[in-house]
A and B are shown apart, each in its own frame.
Chain A
Amino acid sequence: MATKNTTKLIRQESPNLIPERDLGAIPVLQAEHLGIDFGGLTAVNDFNIALGPTEISGIIGPNGAGKTTVFNLLTCVYKPTRGTVMIDGYDLAGKSVVEANHMGIARTFQNIRLFNNMTVMENIQVGQGSHMTSHFFEDVLRLPAHWKQEKESADNARDLLRIFGMENLANNLAGNLPYGAQRKLEILRALATQPKILLLDEPAAGMNPAETDELMENVLKIRDDFKIAVLLIEHDMKFVMGICEGLAVLDHGNIIAKGTPEEVQNNPRVIEAYLGKQEVR
């Protein structure tokens, strides 16, 4: 379980901006022989991945390859038919979505899912909720513990908003935000749950090139500031090749290639999956 007794963010001061890769330690996220069948259809088969702390990795693949299904398996939305998922060495088998989140896995959604009738600030504070300890009666009777907690949470939420320069939007309704800001807010809400791994489902979808560049910088900054691992699904190759340290390519539920972006780019099977087989004359 994540630490329950503090609302402090896990941000640490980093002397050097690029954190050291700690590959000797336990992978913060590990999936082994993960697979799921829907009826007779095998959606994902034999999916293996290990993510070190502070590593940014990506999953790419053509439409319908099973990328979002993998995310749903990692966050316990689906129960896997085969295989295991481990977070920091703890098995996720039989856990609920909420328990998985408390163990340190947070995600965003491909189609934005914000709390549209709540303000930007409240959206983030919902994310902080599981780390707040004020008791029901403390809140209802407005005891000092309530005020202290609310102030801490508002301060932390403002810190988070500052990452994306969204402080002046704090009191707007989330549903009224422009599209790009909604995507960013979803990332912030996920960050507010103090995860160890952040799963981003197509974070750059629908963004223009300038916004995509800004998002790239911000994802790197989040990784460096919060020292968390990031796993992302993205179709924008410039984005993926620009920030991912490792890539896995999915096609029809199977991993067809794995490695650094350069290795993957030149892999014939990947080219085949995306562009089709070259005709031999």
Chain B
Amino acid sequence: MTKMYPRDNNHNPVIVTGFGGKDGHRRELTMPARYAINAILVALFVFGGNFLVGEGLISRYQTVVFEQIGVYVLMTVSLNIVTGYLGQLPLGHAGFMSIGGYACAIFIIRMMPLFGLDAQSMASGSTPAVILFVVGLLFGGICAALMGVVIGIPALRLRGDYLAIITLGFAEIIRVVLVNIDSALGFKLTGGASGLTGIPAYTGYLNTAIVASLAIFAIHTLMKSRHGRAILAIRDNEIAAEASGVNTTYYKTLAFVFSAFLAGIAGGLYAGCIGVMAPAKFGFMKSVEILVMVVLGGMGSMFGSVVSATVLTVLPEALRAFADYRMVAYAIVLILVMIFRPEGLFGSYDFSLSRIIKRVMNRDFPWNNDDSDEQTDVQVNAKAGVQANEQADTQVEATTDSKEA
């Protein structure tokens, strides 16, 4: 059935260091090595990109597009937790984004005087500015997470279409509240329908890339732990998960709240990137746009989410030359993908750098091997339990790098 490699008494593959592979011994990367390789690649990508921005090699406009890519990658991977891993279909993700965005922007605007900062120095990267930025983002994320608890507990009792409709309703409530809360409170908080202005430009390429990488790392580690396994079990078979002692209510809420937290952080970055928050931006269409990114990339594939968020953010910008036709082209791309790849561009495939390195170490190339198929490789890979850590971080690296080139 599967190609067998030499095993020790505990049935672990026998590990031999060094190159080779034709003698039938499997070579494995140790866990610290995997972490180190991925960390170096992520650092290269983050700081390399920052170098390009700093030296003025890419224009201000391109930098803003990169920041938006970061925000949408964050939104897509966070929605992918609920849609791809938990298997539910919420339609209110933009609601969490707006909560996080408003909370973060208002917090930073109100706290700037306390830290002795103004709108200019907020973007300077000085220590108090960084501290305020981090605290503001966390504040935005926690506000969105609290809203996630409030919405998730009643909404997650439903499933399928009903969950989609109830979350859609909650997102609309959030939007309407943001418009009308000023007159109810009697002082200026959100700026009502005209929007919240005067948000300092605290979002840059560097901090967007770092936050996105950290978020992807956190999702990856969560999904490769007992919590992640419980979430996947609920997707695969809820009845069996309950009978196996998985507290489905708790884990559904956990996934939903974690997803809302990351969406709130994405909203905070978005506010600093755009500079103006208006409730009209966070309507139903925004939620659908993000859901389309998840579905296009492949539900349950973090690599797919990152790629499709990047493509679908760049595509409208790249097609700007064809002003009138660009939305038509966008729609045609979607239709073609849904016809020819209904499971999404990548299905449930996830890119793993360590897997490729291990292949090279074992000289396990398709043209070298008669019958050893990819299946075997994946299996031995999964054996290590934690394999390919931060693989997703390298995905960001790969995708955005290719774009930069």
Contact = CB atoms under 8 A, between A and B. Distances in A.
Contacts of A117: 232, 235-236, 348
B298 to A, nearest CB: 13
A139 B2 contact: no
A97 B243 contact: yes
Contacts of A139: 221-222, 225-228
B239 interface: yes
Contacts of B226: 125, 128-129, 132, 134, 139, 149, 153
Contacts of A116: 236-237
Given A129-B245, A193-B244, A113 B229 contact: no
B194 interface: no
A140 B379 contact: no
Nearest to A176: B375
B332 interface: no
Interface string B205-245: 00000000000001001100111111011011101111111
A42 to B, nearest CB: 25
Interface of B is mostly: helix
Contacts of A150: 225, 385-386
A96 B380 CA distance: 38
A148 interface: no
Given A141-B221, A168-B4, A190 B244 contact: yes
Interface residues on A, range: 35 or more
B236 A154 contact: no
B382 interface: yes
A81 interface: no
A143 to B, nearest CB: 10
Given A107-B243, A114-B240, A118-B232, A154 B221 contact: no
A172 B246 contact: no
Interface residues on B, range: 35 or more
A265 interface: no
B11 A115 contact: no
A118 B4 CA distance: 21
A101 B218 CA distance: 30
A101 B225 CA distance: 21
A136 interface: yes
Interface in A157-182: 158, 167-168, 170-172
Contact of B246 (A109, A118, A130): A130
Contact of A154 (B2, B254, B385): B385
Interface of B: 2, 4, 10-11, 218, 221-222, 225-230, 232-233, 235-237, 239-248, 254, 348, 378-380, 382-383, 385-386, 389
Rank and list the top 9 A-B pairs by shortest CB-CB distance, nearest first.
A139-B225, A171-B379, A113-B240, A130-B245, A115-B236, A101-B245, A97-B242, A126-B233, A167-B11
Interface of A: 75, 96-98, 101-102, 106-107, 109, 113-119, 121-122, 125-130, 132, 134, 136, 139-142, 146, 149-150, 153-155, 158, 167-168, 170-172, 189-190, 192-193
13 contacts: A96-B242, A101-B244, A109-B239, A113-B237, A113-B243, A116-B237, A117-B232, A122-B229, A130-B247, A139-B225, A141-B221, A150-B225, A171-B383
